[in-house]
């Protein structure tokens, strides 16, 4: 039994002394709001959430993992303990925390709800993803782009946990390459019908799904895409010849919306008249976030209604993905926090060679590294969450750009470093680490999903480096001063931490100068004057090293964020010093690796391409 908020000193310090509530409260609650009173109410909410999550949700986590997804009589549903978690969250009003007040929620800013997401992920990563994907994400999308009628129909029911949704982009042939989707939506007689297949859809067994589909025949890539809401159960007979004869959707005049129990596949209210509008073909068997149903969905003449403007699907899904990427970073933080707490406790109790293992230097160092990672990731996330709130409330272009810069780094660092932290925790547990009675093996398994979904680590790296390139090509002279990132260029700290930070940044700049010089030698200096965009081939050295550059960038930003916190909270200085030292070492390692050349990888790619062409010509 523990309260995940009040009993976590770093979380409390972050809430009480780091977050700039004086900026966040007026934006969220209006200029006249009493900051101290509002913050005290939010603190109380987090304390209640921390108590419930740290006791009830944490207690059921092992069972959620053991039971996995329930598959019975061709249906897919949540296990009982996961249902109990969702019901408990709904009863406490925690599901609707971020939903607008006028639609049944509490209207809390992301900066506050991020604490709840972290605590949920610490207790049970499956519950966290169910809460995020089945309720929060669809609600945010419907609130942003839905009609008044759609908001009224879905949001209050989602906030109560009476309805659950999902968001479906991925298809068997379109994973990282979302622009390759082939699911179509066609309009006939004023109604829309979806045909296609979606893969790996979290919470896809719920009451409705938001689907990304192609609405412009023959369109390719990110053009001609639209978003739709498809309810799982509709009235009427199965469609013959596509969609003819389908009765109106829920919420259409005269049809009551379905009510599914929290997160559970809803039963037909009236077996004679309700039919499945799309098929939940199966839920994958997997070793990570085992309680979360990851479903394959089949759409055949599925009746759906547009969410937002036709043709604007890419814009809508991009906003969803960017928010979810920060969400996955927070999931990584929660899991890493769980692994750290378990390892700290174990290393203090386990005695080998006459002393607790934490007194052996290698273990002590691992614990310190884990501690720095968790505090650093939290610092980055708090900053991203505040930027997200500012953007939601009409922040300017530079705020939006700073958020865009941090988002792939939060996702990359939150995922990769969560995996690394869990790996260290497992090692600290020795043989007991692989035994299922101890939770670290679950944390390890759960952490492994984070570098994969919502855009893999490689895709985050490509995003981060493409933006960096854009800034570089716009202002190549920045390489002679602080570099293309204005946030990093401005940052300055004193002492050893400040020197290490500056060394890390210089090392990154050295690398960027080398790569940019290579680009200019290949493509001419005109490239650097914005004469034309570099070709894919010219960009290859950047793409090869995208993850190394991203790793360096992420570590430098983590050090910067902790350094800025240390100005307000002097006790954070040692964390900053350690993060800056690590950023320097990571940057220098990556500079060395990048400088060592491509190691023959481009020759190998040329071989693969030749092989592919030959195979094709033989067919």
Residues that bind ligand FAD (CB under 6 A): 133, 166-170, 175-176, 200-202, 294, 449, 452-456, 458-459, 462
Measured from the CB atom, the residue of 265 and 372 that comes closer to ligand FAD is 265
**What's the CA dihedral at 354, 355, 361, 364 to 10 degrees?**
160
Q: How far is the CB of 593 from ligand FAD (least distance, A)?
A: 17
Region of 211 (left: φ > 0; alpha: ψ -120 to 50; beta: rest) is: beta
- To the nearest whole angstrom, how small is the minimum distance from the Cβ of residue 280 to ligand FAD? 13
Nearer to ligand FAD by Cβ, of 188 and 285: the residue is 285
Q: Do the beta carbons of residue 461 and residue 543 sit within 8 Å?
A: no
Minimum CB distance to ligand FAD, residue 547 (Å): 9
Distance in Å, CB of 582 to ligand FAD, minimum: 25
Query: What distances in angstroms separate CA 522 from CA 131, 443, 494, 512, 543, one per listed residue?
Result: 50, 46, 40, 15, 15
Length of the chain (residues): 619
Task: Compute the distance between CA of residue 449 and CA of residue 332 in angstroms, rounded to an integer.
Answer: 9
What's the rounded Cα separation, in Å, for the pair 71 and 589?
A: 48
Query: Token pair 């570590």 is at which residue?
Result: 555
SS (H, E, C) 149-216: HHHHHHHHHHHHCCCCCCEECCECCECCCHHHCCCEEEEECCEEEEEEEEEEEECCCCCEEEEEEECC
CB of 25 to ligand FAD, least distance (A): 33
Residue number with CB closer to ligand FAD (133 or 230): 133
Residue 187 CA neighbour count, 13 Å, CB half? 10
Q: What is the closest distance, in whole angstroms, from the C-beta atom of residue 451 to ligand FAD in the complex?
A: 8
The answer to whether the beta carbons of residues 250 and 258 sit under 8 Å apart is yes
Provide, rounded to whole angstroms, the least separation between the CB of residue 544 and ligand FAD. 10
The CA R_g of the chain, rounded to the nearest whole Å, is 25
Report the residue number, 208 or 429, with the smaller CB distance to ligand FAD: 208
What residue number has its CB nearest to ligand FAD?
A: 175
CB of 176 to ligand FAD, least distance (A): 3
Q: How far is the CB of 559 from ligand FAD (least distance, A)?
A: 26
Smaller CB separation from ligand FAD, 131 or 372: 131
In the complex with ligand FAD, which residue's Cβ is closer, 371 or 446? 446
Among 486, 503, 467, 492, smallest CA distance to 584 is for 503
Sequence-distant contacts of 63-70: CB under 8 A, at least 24 apart: 64/124, 64/126, 64/127, 64/290, 64/291, 65/124, 65/126, 65/290, 65/291, 65/442, 66/290, 67/290, 67/291, 68/285, 68/290, 68/291, 69/283, 69/290, 69/291, 69/292, 69/293
Q: Using the minimum distance from each CB to ligand FAD, give the nearer residue, 40 or 182.
A: 182
Contact 189, 258 (CB under 8 A): no
Nearest to ligand FAD of 168, 342 (CB atom) = 168
| Nearer Cβ to ligand FAD (390/409) | 409
Q: Which is nearer to ligand FAD, 120 or 583 (CB)?
A: 120
Q: What is the nearest approach in angstroms of ligand FAD to the Cβ of residue 455?
A: 6
């Amino acid at each position: 039994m523990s309260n995940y908020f009040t009993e976590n000193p770093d979380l409390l310090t972050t809430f009480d002394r780091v977050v700039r509530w004086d900026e966040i409260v007026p934006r969220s609650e209006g200029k006249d709001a009493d900051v101290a009173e509002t913050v005290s109410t939010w603190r109380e909410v987090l304390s209640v959430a921390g108590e419930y999550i740290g006791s009830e949700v944490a207690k059921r986590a092992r069972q959620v993992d053991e039971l996995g997804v329930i598959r019975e009589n061709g249906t897919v549903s949540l296990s009982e303990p996961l249902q109990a978690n969702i019901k408990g969250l709904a009863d406490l009003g925690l599901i609707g925390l971020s939903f607008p007040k006028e639609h049944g929620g509490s209207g809390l800013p992301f900066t506050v709800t991020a604490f709840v997401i972290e605590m949920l992920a610490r207790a049970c990563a499956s519950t966290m993803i169910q809460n995020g994907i089945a309720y929060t994400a669809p609600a945010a999308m419907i609130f942003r782009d839905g009609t008044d009628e759609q908001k009224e129909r879905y949001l209050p029911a989602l906030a109560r946990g009476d309805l659950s949704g999902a968001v479906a982009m991925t298809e068997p042939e379109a994973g990282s390459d979302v622009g390759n989707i082939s699911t179509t939506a066609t309009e006939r007689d004023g109604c829309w019908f979806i045909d296609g297949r979606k893969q790996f859809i979290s919470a896809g067994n719920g009451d409705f799904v938001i689907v990304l589909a192609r609405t412009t025949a023959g369109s390719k890539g990110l053009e001609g895409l639209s978003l739709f809401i498809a309810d799982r159960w509709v009235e009427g007979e199965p469609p013959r010849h596509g969609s003819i004869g389908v009765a109106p959707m829920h919420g259409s005049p005269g049809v009551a919306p379905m009510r599914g129990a929290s997160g559970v596949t809803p039963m037909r209210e009236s077996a004679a008249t309700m039919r499945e509008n799309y098929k939940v073909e199966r839920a994958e068997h997997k070793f990570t976030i085992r309680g979360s149903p990851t479903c394959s969905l089949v759409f055949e003449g599925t009746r759906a209604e547009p969410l937002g403007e036709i043709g604007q699907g890419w814009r809508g899904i991009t906003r969803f993905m960017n928010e979810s990427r920060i969400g996955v970073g927070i999931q990584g933080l929660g899991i890493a926090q769980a692994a750290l707490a378990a390892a700290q406790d174990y290393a203090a109790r386990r005695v080998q060679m006459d002393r607790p293992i934490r007194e052996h230097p290698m273990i002590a160092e691992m614990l310190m590294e884990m501690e720095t990672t968790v505090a650093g990731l939290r610092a980055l996330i708090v900053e991203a969450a505040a930027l997200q709130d500012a953007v939601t409330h009409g922040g300017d272009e530079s705020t939006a750009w700073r958020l865009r810069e941090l988002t792939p780094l939060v996702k990359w660092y939150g995922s990769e470093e969560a995996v690394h932290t869990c790996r260290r925790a497992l090692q600290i547990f020795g043989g007991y680490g692989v035994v299922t009675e101890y939770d670290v093996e679950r944390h390890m398994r759960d952490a492994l999903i984070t570098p994969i979904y919502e855009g893999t680590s490689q895709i985050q790296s490509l995003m981060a480096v493409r933006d960096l390139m854009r800034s570089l090509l716009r202002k190549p002279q920045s390489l002679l001063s602080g570099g293309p990132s204005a946030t990093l260029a401005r940052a300055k700290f004193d002492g050893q931490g400040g020197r290490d930070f500056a060394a890390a940044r210089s090392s990154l700049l050295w690398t960027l100068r080398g790569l940019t010089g290579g680009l200019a030698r290949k493509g001419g200096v005109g490239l650097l004057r914005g004469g034309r965009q570099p070709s894919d081939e010219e960009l290859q050295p950047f793409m090869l090293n995208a993850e190394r550059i991203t790793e360096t960038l992420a570590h430098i930003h983590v050090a910067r964020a902790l350094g800025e916190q240390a100005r307000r909270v002097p006790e954070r200085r040692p964390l900053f010093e350690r993060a800056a030292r690590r950023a320097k070492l990571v940057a220098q390692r990556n500079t060395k690796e990048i400088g060592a050349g491509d190691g023959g990888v481009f020759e190998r790619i040329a071989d693969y391409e030749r092989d592919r062409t030959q195979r094709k010509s033989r067919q």
